[in-house]
Chain A
Amino acid sequence: MKYIKSLMVALTVVLFTSASFADTLNDVKARGMLKCGSNTGLVGFAAPDDAGVWKGVDVDVCRAVAAAVFGDANAMEVVPTTSKARFTVLQSGEIDMLARNTTWTFSRDVDLGLEFVGVNYYDGQGFLVPASLGVSSALDLDGASVCIQVGTTTELNLADFFRMHKMEYESIPVETNDEADAAFLAGRCDVYTTDQSGLYAQRSTYPNPDDWVVLPEIISKEPLGPSVRHGDSKWADVVRWSLNTMIIAEEMGITSANVDSHLSSDNPSILRLLGKEGAYGAMLGVNNDFGYQIIKQVGNYGESFERNIGLSTPMAIARGVNSMWTKGGLIYAPPFR
């Protein structure tokens, strides 16, 4: 009995590692490590490579936050989450922030107790088909078998789209990318639908990406962005401005390669961003050079985009709506002052 009792006590202690999240920034600093919730594996957004290192645009947001808080972009770890569990783990405090291609919607922002801090990718639900199918529009898909990666809005959008156009389809819902992949490549379904970014990610993993076409129709708008728990605006600010710093850096033409030369710039707004002027870091509760660290270690938004999902990568996604606002896109950040 004695052992059993002491075992139970010890077990409780081991299992319940305590952490309070009233002040996430302090907790993160105390831990010396950022816990960032992301995907279980979506190439280009968050996926481990052969060496087990996580890479992707979502991971870069995590890295930027780590660079801002610790001055070290590697002081973070990716916690893979399923679409079902992602909000629960954020709310319970297991992770400090969520950067997992998650759509910013009213009910999530208001009702689920999340706070979205920005958008790092403007997405929309699309369709991927084999080129050999000879389909050029989603309106030709009457009677097709459709593989759906089970999310929260994907199957609803799909059902609405087909009902609206009075078309029929066979739905094959799958839990993860890998399954969807296996089923789609084998020809179990004609069409694969999820967010367009996901479709590009998927296509890039195929042996001959040119044999597959992403159809032009977008049947929903899906602004993807990082989120934090509701009610901790100090922490939300840190994440928001880490992302904004990456965007502003691109706008100003500062890259990880040339950031050092900008340290002696004449432009006051660049000096503010790099922490040479003003006490913006202190206001945020982090080091004053946080902007410099983010750009130096992670790069600006465009660099992250090109490195992970841009035209030179197998994903080959054009900037499109994700171009800078100065170039006709939607990527925009409030001024840094």
Chain B
Amino acid sequence: MSDKKTIGAVLIAGGGIGGIQAALDLANSGYYVYMVEKSPSIGGVMAQLDKTFPTNDCSMCIMSPKLVEVGRHMNIELLTLSEIKGVEGEKGHFQVEVFQKARYVDMEKCIACGACTEKCPVKVDDVYNEKLIKRKAIYALYPQAVPLKYCIDAEKCLKLTKGKCGTCEKKCPAGAINYDDKDKTLTLNVGSIILAPGFTAYNPAGKAIYSYDNNPDVVTSLEFERLLSASGPNQGHIVRMSDHEEPKKIAWLQCIGSRDINTCDNAHCSSVCCMYAIKQAIIAKEHDPSLECTIFYMDMRTHGKGFESCFNEAKEKHGIKFIRCRIHSIHKNPGDQPGQVLDYMDDTTGKVIRDIYDIVVLSVGMEISPEVKELTAKLGIELTAGGFVKTSSFDPVATTRDGIYVCGALQGPKDIPQSVVEAGSAALCAGSALTAGRNTLTKTFTAPPEINITGERPRVGVFVCHCGINISSVVDVKAVRDFAADLPYVEYVSDNLYSCSQDTQDFMSKQIKDLNLNRIIVAACTPRTHDPLFQETLLNAGLNKYLFEMVNIRNHDSWVHKDFPAEATLKAKEMVRMAVAKVALFEPLTEARLDIDQNALVIGGGVSGLSSAKALASQGYKVSLVERNSYLGGQAVNLFATSKGESIQDGLNAIITDVEANDKIRILTNTELTSVDGFVGNFDTVLSVNGQSEKIRHGVTIIATGASELKPDEYLYGKDPRVITGLELDRKFIDKDPAIAKINTAVFIQCVGSREPERPYCSRICCTHTMASALHLKTLNPDMNIFVLYRDIRTYGEREALYKEAREKGVIFIRYEVSNKPVVQATNNGLEITVTDHVLKRPLLITADMLTLASAVVPYKDEKLAQFFKVPMNADGFFAEAHVKLAPSDFAVDGVFLCGLAHYPKPMDESIAQAQAASSSATRLLSQKSINTSGTIAKVNPAFCTGCEVCITVCPYNAPSMIMDGRDKGKAQINPVLCKGCGACVASCRSGALHLKGFEDSQLFAMIENA
């Protein structure tokens, strides 16, 4: 088999956010990607969400650019309505059988005008809206769907089921309907496979205790997302579905379909529900501040970055009530009264309290669907006891079948950032396996030579879009077109049903060439999604892509003025006139091209840094691995076992051996950075290696500087040798300290130094670590008495199994309030620990031989490093990523990436996954070999510059700098590579020396004059 050529293509099963991220990483790194998606469009669950924590960005808005990029990527082939049926072969050369259902709509011809849907007589449950409303049998999944192509529901369509109707065919102006379309089976040849099919939300139907069946006021959390969403059934207006009255009280019930082995078979914690319930409650309160929101929970699991402060804000700022009680059951208010009755146990009185809520949201957990489980069985992939794909902590995205990788919820319940991290990790691994086939199957775009328009009179072409009926039902499109025809410099005008359709692109390209048009305006929708499409059309026609302007007569006009067609038409005309005035002044802009140095610098020799170095080397890049200490391994040197029971020492030694043996990696211990110069693609860093200065050049940097364990100053730590930290206990385990097994009573105290005013974040790893330690103690001595004093147990995901096992083996868990912490006294008989029991409400006295403090993970707060790379830190001292959800391993600063504890406390598997994800991001950049910068950037006119340096202060991207010598010494200059064209410097420049290309004063004044 080894003589077979490695296939440089990867199949990704699943088009949710994980699959999308992996696809983009791979397609931008020299691999051809097949994305196999079961539904008619990609986007997955994230596309259904309203707003996302913590930025309150609309989920669709942050996702849409990625959807569009996947849809337009020349190295990503989308196979919608498709499923994997079987896989033959092995790593490097798999043959995948894919079954693709007929769409009955020709994707090439469909212009997504919606005429078919409008007249379709069949109503079907709208799955995208969680069946809260109906859609038609011919449909697009959602308005921003990619691909935005309609699809016929074959099971419901009258024509396909009964041979009647045929309305859509008659109504389709593009002739796209094809009732004779057939299902087909394809065989794809790929080198690696990534499984990213996502999760299914737990379905509470059929369970009397939830009162969900036939009770519209009990909704699942996904249904509530749709109710919150402006694109949902009520346009984001929250109402009680039964009578459309506004709710006054809403309750969330946590752990529905999670942490429950009785009413369902889901022992795991679903990891995300606590945080989304808080988010939903906050957003609901933003809709109506008088709303009463209550969350009923068992343990509040806000273990992610920024989660705990959000939880605190929810309580203190937003007044959201948190009641610690799992509700037995929900029932309707008897009689005709609306509302749901909830009885809960009141801890303070020991009585049951009854409360009535208008809406009850079931915070449903994550499950793997039976179909996906069937697929994994067919592929011969092992699952965990909980039914998720089995992986090792040291190879966190590799399934048990070589060459098949996993990311997202299939590997275990997880949130969006962690899924995105794993997607990067899976992309890195899938790519590393195929380096021999890299760039063998990918296509590259070559534009025709650019026509020189210098000195030519502007010849403007204006294309006005109907956008189906989106624009033309309000705006008189033909009138706008005719109006544009009479404007100065306009040579050509036309109106198009859909300007973005492929045939319009071809037509536009032909008109540019035939009529020598040299400025183009498209009056249609939003440039945010469509600018790149039209710019590409210009490039294809040989025109500089910056000679283009979009006018948004849909979002800014027809949609918002739909009741005033005459005025809307007038506004469209004015907008077009402004754009024509502006575009006439446009000049071709050039994009700087920059070579990227192919070497990498990894800072930090812990597990994250080691894994990053190894990952980058596996992609063929040379790496300098810098470690401040004399040894490699970081915190892992003192860690005993992972949550899956693997020996960390064995795992660490294996990585170190690999890294040391790799001739692409240069290990530099006792080394620190003394200065950093340059920028993405060309960093010049001076190192102090054992005190010797050395300069290295590198194209990318990965920051993996880790964190450390807090040395506590409470509970007699440092004063009594029987009080130790979690890491110190691990050291005893590693050293096989014989005294440990002889201990009679061991106590753990959680949250030592975490979740306190001084360090408000949750350290994420301590609960799981304590479980593993307690269980190890029980292995050493099954009769040992063990107590864990905690605030909330946060064994998220499948780690919950450890908590359950610990309880089952007799470990006693006692919850304390932060206002009433345990008290420790040293006596000759042992440590006397007094703690108030959370159920009995009375103090308990435990005499312990050993007290282990689950101490906080503390960041290094390396200000110097932050300064060197201009990367930000958050209030807690962890480095701040580019985007909390979608770019967790990137910095806003190009060419610098982030992983491990430096980002946030996390266990071994997550650190390694993030190390690989950061390396995947770095690979995406390095594999371009060179990058084109944007043409729309700031420029300094040195004649006006006073050298005040304000631009340097305001720029978030480190683009401006002072010229150090020559004629313009002391003046500012803009690095075109770093400039993002935001205009902050232009606005702040007091002497008018800065201007932004494409937004010149003259152009903007021309617009104003024509307004």
**A and B: partners?**
no
Residues in chain A within 8 A of chain B (CB atoms): none
Residues in chain B within 8 A of chain A (CB atoms): none
